[in-house]
């Protein structure tokens, strides 16, 4: 098979995946958005002062739904009776990767945001001028969307790597990774300072200022510009390994 990237094949693959996964996704979406609609109406009628909390609830559903959707995007690949058909599709690994990412990241973000906004308008109209209603699309919302598109790549890698219970295994892996980082940071601190009690007076002002300014900047660059692309590359090689 020709491994050169082809936009036509990519488009057909996206259409195939969308049609193939439409029934379970539509059922789940109906239940989720139906619940959001009921909660929105009840909030607008009984608790209009809690509109900020309603927006937070929407964002929680947005993250959880996206991560679960992403974790199952390669379910066909991990199902023995279906994997043969998936592996023999006339589509390159890169096209499978990009198509699956498009469905679970930008397409999901746009579809969820539009429907959630329309649902959010209902309690907004009900409240009227009685209470100040926070705007749905503000800086916090766009910050959350950007964070989702980065963190989502973690679950995307889990979907490609794990064969069963992808979502739960990815969550467990994140938990264990956080423990490892915490232990490593504690050990490094102990090695540097000998395990003694340390306070601000023990740090040189220049060193302390350098740490306070450099670490957040490095963390910002790593999270927003490096983590996502890196995990997508790792996901590509994980998919490639399944095709060998």
Q: Is the pLDDT of residue 194 over 70?
A: no
Residues 108-128 have a mean pLDDT of 92
Neighbours of 16 (CB within 10 A): 13
Residues 37-57 have a mean pLDDT of 88
Distances from the Cα of 87 to the Cαs of 35, 38, 80, 241, 244, in angstroms?
37, 42, 11, 11, 10
- Token digits of residue 16: 């195939």
Residues 100-125 have a mean pLDDT of 95
Residue that has been written with the tokens 């959010």 in this structure: 120
- Token digits of residue 97: 């990767």
Distances from the Cα of 172 to the Cαs of 79, 86, 186, 197, in angstroms?
22, 28, 21, 33
Burial 87-111 (b: 16+ CB within 10 A, else e): eeeebbbbbbbbbbbbbbbeebbee
pLDDT digits (tens, 9 = 90+) for 90-108: 999 999 999 999 999 999 9
| Residue 212, pLDDT score | 66
- Looking at 77-86, 124-133, 189-198, 218-227, which range is the least confident one? 189-198
Q: Is the pLDDT of residue 171 over 80?
A: yes
- Token digits of residue 195: 């395990």
Q: Is the pLDDT of residue 206 over 60?
A: no
């Amino acid at each position: 098979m020709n491994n050169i990237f082809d936009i036509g094949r990519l488009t057909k693959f996206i259409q195939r995946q969308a049609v193939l996964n439409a029934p379970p996704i539509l059922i789940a979406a109906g239940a989720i958005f139906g619940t959001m609609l009921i909660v929105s109406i009840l909030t607008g009628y009984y608790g209009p002062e809690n509109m900020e909390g309603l927006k937070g609830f929407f964002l929680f559903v947005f993250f959880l739904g996206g991560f679960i959707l992403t974790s199952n995007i390669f379910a066909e690949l991990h199902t023995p009776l279906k994997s043969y058909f998936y592996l023999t599709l006339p589509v390159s690994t890169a096209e499978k990767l990009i198509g699956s990412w498009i469905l679970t990241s930008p397409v999901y973000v746009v579809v969820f945001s539009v429907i959630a906004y329309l649902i959010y308008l209902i309690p907004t109209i009900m409240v009227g001028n009685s209470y100040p209603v926070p705007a749905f699309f503000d800086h916090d919302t766009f910050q959350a969307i950007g964070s989702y598109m980065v963190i989502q790549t973690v679950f995307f890698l889990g979907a490609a790597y794990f064969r069963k219970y992808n979502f739960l295994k990815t969550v467990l892996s994140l938990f264990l990774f956080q423990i490892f980082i915490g232990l490593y940071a504690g050990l490094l601190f102990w090695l540097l300072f000998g395990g003694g009690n340390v306070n601000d007076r023990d740090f040189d002002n220049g060193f302390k200022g350098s740490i306070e300014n450099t670490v957040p900047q490095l963390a910002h660059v790593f999270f927003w510009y490096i983590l996502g692309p890196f995990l997508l590359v790792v996901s590509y090689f994980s998919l490639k390994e399944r095709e060998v």
